[in-house]
Amino acid sequence: MSAPAAPVVGPTDVEPEEEEKTQSTFARLWFQHYDLVILPAIIVLVLGFLLIYVSTRELDTIEQRVLAPANVFGLLRQHLLLAALSTILVLIIAVPVGILLSRRAARRVQGPVLAIGGFAQALPPFGVLLLMAFAFDFGVTTAVIGLTLAALLPVLRNTVIGLQQVDQSLIEAARGMGMSSRQTLFRVELPLAVPVIVAGLRVALVLNVGTATLASYIGAGGLGELVQQALRLNRINVLLVAGGIIAAVALLIDWLAGVAERVVVARSG
């Protein structure tokens, strides 16, 4: 007696299952990364609105001169330079200090240092920049130092938290393999803490981009010059365009930082 033939699985039996898996994968990816799609759309809408607004208005000679591409791009370059320099300084200062504070020997001073950093961040950036400018000098150097102080805490705190969250059993396993404290730090602790540190760096970068608008008040240039010129000249068109450009730049930097953060987290995972 012959055995019963096995049922033949046709394409119609497999395709719905594969389609369901594809849809669930797409839904999961969308839930995890939807902001990376929405932010560029918002940026395009903001820039598109500005372009339509400017093209439909009869700008006088002063507005044309202020909103000339050469002037806007020159101020944008200054703005990004201020944000980049201050963010680099934040990274150079905050990460090593955070590593020191996370060590067992420095646990006593960790709380006071973070409290002082929180107090410094709570101070109004505009007032800090003005006080530093009058105390030292007006210009780019003072602006970069002020922006660095304003954005130091997120990276410092995230460095300490990221290192403290490393599983102690992994550290003990590394020590058991014969690694020194330095090797354990650079091969085990820091790689595991990188996602948290990068998240703090993203916050610091966005803070610097926004706060750099105030640097124009102490002679450091940047997109804040557009706002000042609009207020001095009483030109509402310039003020609207300046606000839109600053918002678009902040969103773009946040989007780029978000992409970099996802890449770092994916590689460390």
Query: Domain spans of the chain?
Result: 36-268
Q: Using 50, 70 and 90 to split pLDDT, how confident is the model at 28?
A: low
Q: Please name the amino acid found at residue 11.
A: P
Which tokens belong to 124? 């109004």
Q: Please name the amino acid found at residue 33.
A: H
Which tokens belong to 44? 């395009």
Q: What does the longest C-alpha to C-alpha distance in the chain come to?
A: 102
Residue 63 is predicted with a pLDDT of 84
* pLDDT over threshold 60, residue 6: no
Residue 251 is predicted with a pLDDT of 87
Where do the H-state alpha helices sit in the chain?
Answer: 11-33, 35-55, 61-66, 69-102, 107-122, 125-135, 140-150, 152-164, 168-176, 181-184, 190-211, 224-233, 236-268
Which tokens belong to 49? 């609105």
Q: Tokens 């001095």, residue? A: 232
In this structure, are residues 201 and 116 in contact, taking their beta carbons and an 8 Å threshold? no
Q: Which residues of 66-83 are buried (b: 16+ CB within 10 A; e: fewer)?
A: bbeeeebeebbebbbbbb
Q: Please give the CATH number for the structural domain made up of 36-268.
A: 1.10.3720.10
Alpha-carbon span 107 to 112, nearest angstrom: 10
The model's pLDDT over 37-52, given as tens digits with 9 standing for 90+, comes to 788 888 888 888 888 8
The model's pLDDT over 169-215, given as tens digits with 9 standing for 90+, comes to 888 888 888 888 888 888 888 888 888 888 888 888 888 888 888 88
